Amino acid sequence: MTTELPPVRRIVTANDSQGRSYIAEDGVSPAMSTMPGRSGFRSNNLWRTVGSPADVRAPDSVLEHRGVMPPPGGTVLRVVDLPPESGDAEERARATAATFQQLFPDAVHQPDQRHPGMHVTATVDYAIVLHGEVHAVMDDAETLMKAGDVLIQRGTNHAWANRSGALARIAFILVDGRR
């Protein structure tokens, strides 16, 4: 049985009409998704920017976000709780396919590759392991990442494999890119 991690706390700042800073929001993201049949999986979209340079006064539009990709010219901050993979290859493939179909249909998902979660996005991603450990899987190699490790993913084919037996939590900052 996998023990859930506490929800991600999202704290958003703003400036009042006199230009003084304050805490505008403090709580769980309003854009948290789970997957039926995939116990422990959570995808928390925390913030996004639309265009660049980002308007620091822009209203929160995270509830409008769909898919994996950031808005054109923008960014998305996402924290994912990744449960351990099933030892059964068919179950692993089913769970991964369902996740891409329901939450990330805009990714170029290539399940017949080295891992059923292999996918490509036209983004530069900063992936930061916050809790636990996860394998970053590439076409020709993989590496074990532990809490505090950072991977810079530059539009490469990749997947995430949690083989630890415990939940992992990863923060992703996706920056819209071009090929």
DSSP assignments along 133-149, one per residue? EEEEE-SS-EEEEETT-
Spell out the domain ranges in the chain. 30-176
For residue 109, count other CB atoms closer than 10 A to its CB.
21
64-97 per-residue burial string, b: 16 or more CB within 10 A, e: under 16:
ebeebbbeeebbbbbbbbbbbbeeeeeebbebbe
Q: What confidence score (pLDDT) does residue 124 get?
A: 97
CA dist., res. 76 & res. 94, Å (int): 26
Within 8 A by CB and 6+ apart from 101, the residues are: none
What is the structure's pLDDT at 2?
Answer: 56
Q: Are strands 21-28 and 150-154 parallel, antiparallel or unpaired?
A: unpaired
**What are the structure tokens assigned to 94, written together?**
């089913």
Dump pLDDT digits (tens) for 90-115: 988 888 888 898 889 888 888 877 89
**Cα(30)–Cα(58) distance, integer angstroms:** 17
Class for domain 30-176, per CATH? mainly beta
Ranges of the chain with pLDDT below 50: 1
